[in-house]
């Protein structure tokens, strides 16, 4: 059996891989019959050897290959001669792999795991008709809210729609972090329904929202409001060094977002380039980037540098 699991939502992908493992028979025996390979380095001969090895005291063996499809993704610009030579080598290689992997022994369960590939990927095109393909994109919008509600219910809890909206806004599509925050909320709320105030109190990203507010006040020269936010964050247990780092990081993010926006880059690309998973964080950063000049951001950044040097000297 051949599976292809693809996507940036690593949490859901790993859950699906867990289901495949549970369906493969005795888990104790499966542990001794599981092999994980690096798809960027593995050769056809190595794959053949592993896949054709008979399982030990079990009906099935499990072979997991990570990054094999990504190996055949189209590359960036290069010289025409190099490009032709690379494509020729890759064509021979992926055809051999596709021919073999489409007829692996019945005793082997092969799972190809990749983060992001294009539908034009030649190995993917060759294998997908003969495989069970599952895609796991990052969840957003209604799909993310539905996932939060379902997860809370599965864990035996209940959550208000307003609390769900705030969770989706603050945490975003990283389901590892989201699952951890949900567990904290369930413990905090005990047997009652999770409300918006619980999210503001417990969820780590709620503090980040207050950091954004402090940054806004500083950039607007509003010392009184900035000091209020600073005192609130300190009372909540935020360390001064943490706040300085967060402030410096946000100013850097604003500058980068402003530069990318001026180049006409779409929001999705800006989000990926900045490494922001939370839609809330992206929205606030773009909003701040549009409101402040490079000159003002430069002044703030130099003040932050002075503060950092003063602390260390």
295-309: pLDDT as tens digits: 888 888 888 889 888
pLDDT band at 82 (very low <50, low <70, confident <90, very high): very low
pLDDT at 3: 92
pLDDT at 281: 78
In angstroms, the CA 215 to CA 280 distance is 15
Whether the model clears a pTM of 0.85, i.e. scores above it, the answer is no
Mean pLDDT calculated for residue range 96-108: 86
pLDDT at 84 over 50: no
Range of lowest pLDDT (86-90, 217-221, 235-239, 267-271)? 86-90
CA-wise closest residue to 186 among 171, 173, 198, 168:
198
For 156, the token pair is 């035996």
In angstroms, the CA 4 to CA 114 distance is 8
- Mapped onto helix, strand or coil, the DSSP state of residue 185 is helix
In angstroms, the CA 232 to CA 221 distance is 18
Alpha helices (H) in the chain, listed in sequence order: 10-22, 27-32, 44-51, 80-101, 122-127, 141-154, 161-171, 175-189, 196-202, 204-219, 223-235, 240-262, 267-274, 279-291, 294-312
What is each CA distance from 167 to 58, 158, 194, 271, 278, in whole angstroms? 44, 14, 11, 19, 10
Give the number of other CB atoms < 10 A from CB of residue 256.
Answer: 15
Mean pLDDT calculated for residue range 95-105: 85
pLDDT at 158 over 90: yes
Sign of CA dihedral 113, 117, 123, 126: positive
Residue 156 near residue 185, CB atoms below 8 Å: no
Half-sphere exposure of 100 (CA within 13 A, CB side): 17
pLDDT at 149 over 90: yes
Residue 239 near residue 249, CB atoms below 8 Å: no
DSSP state of 194: B
Residue 292 near residue 301, CB atoms below 8 Å: no
Token pair 């009652």: residue = 192
pLDDT at 36: 92
Kindly report, residue by residue over 42-79, the tens digit of the pLDDT.
Answer: 888 998 899 888 888 888 899 999 999 888 887 655 44
């Amino acid at each position: 059996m051949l599976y292809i699991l693809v996507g940036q939502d690593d949490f859901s992908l790993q859950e699906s891989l867990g289901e495949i493992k549970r369906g493969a028979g005795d888990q104790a025996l499966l542990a001794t019959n599981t092999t994980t390979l690096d798809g960027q380095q593995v050769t056809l001969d190595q794959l053949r050897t592993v896949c054709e090895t008979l399982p030990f005291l079990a009906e099935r063996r499990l072979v997991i290959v990570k990054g094999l499809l990504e190996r055949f993704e189209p590359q960036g610009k290069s010289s025409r001669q190099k490009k032709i030579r690379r494509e020729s080598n890759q064509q021979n290689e992926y055809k051999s792999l596709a021919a073999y992997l489409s007829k692996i022994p019945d005793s082997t369960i092969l799972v190809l795991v990749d983060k992001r590939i294009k539908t034009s990927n030649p190995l993917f095109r060759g294998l997908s008709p003969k495989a069970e393909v599952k895609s796991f994109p990052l969840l957003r919008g209604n799909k993310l809210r539905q996932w939060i509600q379902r997860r809370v219910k599965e864990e035996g809890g209940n959550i208000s729609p307003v609390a769900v909206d705030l969770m989706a806004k603050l945490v975003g599509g990283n389901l590892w972090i989201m699952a951890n925050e949900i567990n904290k909320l369930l413990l905090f709320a005990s047997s009652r329904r999770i409300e918006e105030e619980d999210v503001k109190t417990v969820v780590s990203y709620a503090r980040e929202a207050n950091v954004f507010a402090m940054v806004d006040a500083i950039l607007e020269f509003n010392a009184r409001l900035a000091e209020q936010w600073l005192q609130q964050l300190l009372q909540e247990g935020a360390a001064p060094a943490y706040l300085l780092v967060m402030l410096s990081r946000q100013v850097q993010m604003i500058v980068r977002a402003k530069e990318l926006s001026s180049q006409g880059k779409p929001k999705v690309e800006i989000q990926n380039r900045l490494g922001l998973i939370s839609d809330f964080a992206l929205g606030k950063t773009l909003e701040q980037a549009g409101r402040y000049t490079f000159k003002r951001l430069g002044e703030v950044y130099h003040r932050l540098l002075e503060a950092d040097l003063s602390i260390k000297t």
